Amino acid sequence: MNLSLDSSTTTTPTTPAAIDPATAAILRGVARHGLTTVAGYLVAHGYLADSDTQQFVGAGLVLAGLAWSVLDKLARAELQRLVELAAASQKSPAPTAALSSTSNIPSRDCGTTSNAQHPTPNENQIP
């Protein structure tokens, strides 16, 4: 996915990119070691039996996997929404041309105005 600011090479992604397998393996390893550390702490302080450590780590990995899946789907949906929004904004013309023309506004020559609500008439307008 190209995220450069150079407009000649910028491409709009059509589908969100997934995490590469190497990064996913590293994240799974970090989660497993983190849960093993927490389980060791709980065993050392008597909150968890030594025989329950594997179940604790397994349950933690299942819950982490579920949370990762939900967050990944939400992030992909948000990215897809932003891609569609960017594509729609590139298709619609900018309304600046209609706003820049002042030929339709009638001119009102009242001379010098000291206050926009009470214009001061110039010499030619006084009878």
Domain extent listing, the chain: 49-93
> d(Cα 76, Cα 17) in Å, to the nearest integer?
8
Rounded to the nearest 5 percent, the helix, strand and coil shares of the chain are 60, 0, 40
110 has a pLDDT exceeding 50: yes
Determine the average pLDDT of the residues in 100-109. 58
6 has a pLDDT exceeding 70: no
Q: Which pTM was predicted?
A: 0.47
Tens of pLDDT, residues 17-47: 567 888 888 888 898 899 999 999 999 999 9
Tens of pLDDT, residues 32-91: 899 999 999 999 999 989 888 889 888 998 998 898 888 888 988 998 999 999 888 887
Q: Name 115's bridge partners.
A: 118
